[in-house]
Amino acid sequence: MDPARAKRSSWLNDQRVRGLAYQILLLAVIATLASGAIYNAVVNMRARGVPMGFGFWNDVAGFDINLHLINYSNLSTYGRAFWVGFLNTLLIGIICIPLATLLGFVIGVARLSPNWLLSRFALVYTSVMRNTPLLLLLLFWYNAVLKSLPGPRQSISIGDVVFLNNRGLYLPMPVARDSAVWFLGTVVAAIVSAVGFHVWARWRQDRTGAQMPTVLVAAALIPGLSAIVTAVAGAPFGFDLARLSGFNLKGGLQIIPEMAALVFGLVTFTAAFIAEIVRAGVLAVPFGQNEAAGALGLHRGLSMRLVVIPQAMRLITPPLTSQYLNIVKNSSLAVFIGYPDLVQIFAGTVLNQTQAAVQVMAITMAVYLVISLTVATALNAFNARYALNGR
């Protein structure tokens, strides 16, 4: 720099010095706030006799949970209760994500339908769902619908197979028989060979251009072989039906009303958002792509499958993933209707019993953060693989 100029402008106006000063100032403010908060927290927690460490993790919880995928009783530890809640949160995610995707795609396609009435129906559905709070939907389904159903003795039943009453939804529970091993083995073998055939057909098509009916072969192999095994070895599964005994239904697969309401509410709510994403994605593919596919001689189904959908998926996937994360995060509304998820058990009951608010909240938030970050990383990997390259 020109020495005369350097003298004229004070170092106070140097951008680098100023930048450094701003950053140091910010860090100092954050450090002051954080240390103040920590100091206050320690003082306040001591004064209230709140446990400071994670020792409560191995203490006996002493409360019951009405839905647990792993062994749990009121003699189990708080740590065990955490895992029960965590698995219940994942369970809701695993059930709701495929259902919401399916319903969302159906409504999204209905929204795009050339049938005016059908597309209006889909529009009304998405408008209502997107402009109503999820909590209101959950309370409506739980309090006004499921809890108002008749008791077990007056259950609503569909052909004495499926029962619905105010204690939940009862489905037939599949029970494996001796031949189930054979059956499952055959199904796996059929799927493996269908996939193998598909790979071989692809390889052959790449080299010769000749196509093989892979879908037909798969459709023949999997149900066909299953049917043969069932005919030879007998039915692989029996079904345990719910029966009325005394004042309650016994047996079957009971889905507690809290879970039914949560799944129903989350699926119908999220499906509206997914439908809008699907619609926007398909509409964003230029119509020329459709015409080009037609000019190449592809009929409507093929041009959808090979040209439009792959391009739309690139636009649909990122917002779709954030909807999946929303399902997991929104499942925390379970706390309002008493479904035992992570927030209800851990940030609710465990926090109240142990008073260890800082530790419990830190663990709860860490779980959601880990889920969010994992999914975000996976999404970035997907985007890197399928993003438009070149051009």
Partner 1 sequence: MSLASLAYVREAPEPEEAPPILSSGALAWARANLFSSIGSSFVTIGCVALIAYLLPQLAAWATTRAIWSASDGAVCRQHQDGACWAFVITKWDYLRFGSYPAAERWRVNVAEAIGAALIIWLLWINAPRRVWAAFLFFVVYPILALILLRGSSWFGLPIVDTQLWGGIFVSLLTAVVGIVFSLPLGVLLALGRRSPLPAIRLASVLFIEFVRGVPFITILFMANNLLPLFVPETWTPDRLLRPLAGIVIFSAAYMAEEVRGGLQSLGRGQYEAAMALGLSYARMTALVVLPQALSLVIPGIVNNFIGLFMDTTLISVVGATDFLEAMNNAIKDPIWAGPTIMVTGYVFAGIFYFVFCFGMARYSAHIERVLAKGRK
Of the pair 102, 365, the CB lying nearest partner 1 is at 365
- Report the alpha-carbon distance of residue 229 to residue 222 in Å, rounded: 11
Whose tokens are 């954050």? That residue is: 30
Interaction pattern, residues 357-376, with partner 1; x per rule: CB under 8 A: xx--x--xx--xx--xx---
- Report the alpha-carbon distance of residue 20 to residue 200 in Å, rounded: 62
Q: Is 30 in the site for partner 1 (CB under 8 A)?
A: yes
The distance of Cα 352 from the centroid of its chain, to the nearest Å, equals 28
Q: Residue 345 phi/psi, 5° resolution?
A: -75, -50
Please state the closest distance from residue 297 (CB atom) to partner 1, in A: 22
Of the pair 253, 315, the CB lying nearest partner 1 is at 315
- Give which of 43, 42, 81, 86 is closest to 354, Cα–Cα: 81
Q: What is the CA radius of gyration of the chain?
A: 29
Whose tokens are 């706390």? That residue is: 335
State which of positions 104-133 bind partner 1 (CB under 8 A).
113-118, 121, 127-128, 130-133
Q: Is 52 in the site for partner 1 (CB under 8 A)?
A: no
Q: Is 140 in the site for partner 1 (CB under 8 A)?
A: yes
Q: What angle do CA 112, 115, 120 make, to 5 degrees?
A: 70
Q: Is 333 in the site for partner 1 (CB under 8 A)?
A: yes
DSSP 114: S
- Among the listed residues 12, 70, 75, 144, the single contact to partner 1 using CB under 8 A: 144
- Among the listed residues 23, 35, 377, 380, the single contact to partner 1 using CB under 8 A: 23
Question: Binding-site residue total for partner 1 (CB under 8 A)?
Answer: 53
Please state the closest distance from residue 89 (CB atom) to partner 1, in A: 10
Q: Is 49 helix (H, G, I), strand (E, B) or coil?
A: coil
Q: Which amino acid is at 224?
A: G
Residues of the shown chain interacting with partner 1 in the complex, contacts defined by CB under 8 A: 19, 22-23, 26-27, 30, 36-37, 40-41, 43-45, 47, 113-118, 121, 127-128, 130-136, 139-140, 143-144, 148, 329-330, 332-333, 335-336, 343, 347, 351, 357-358, 361, 364-365, 368-369, 372-373
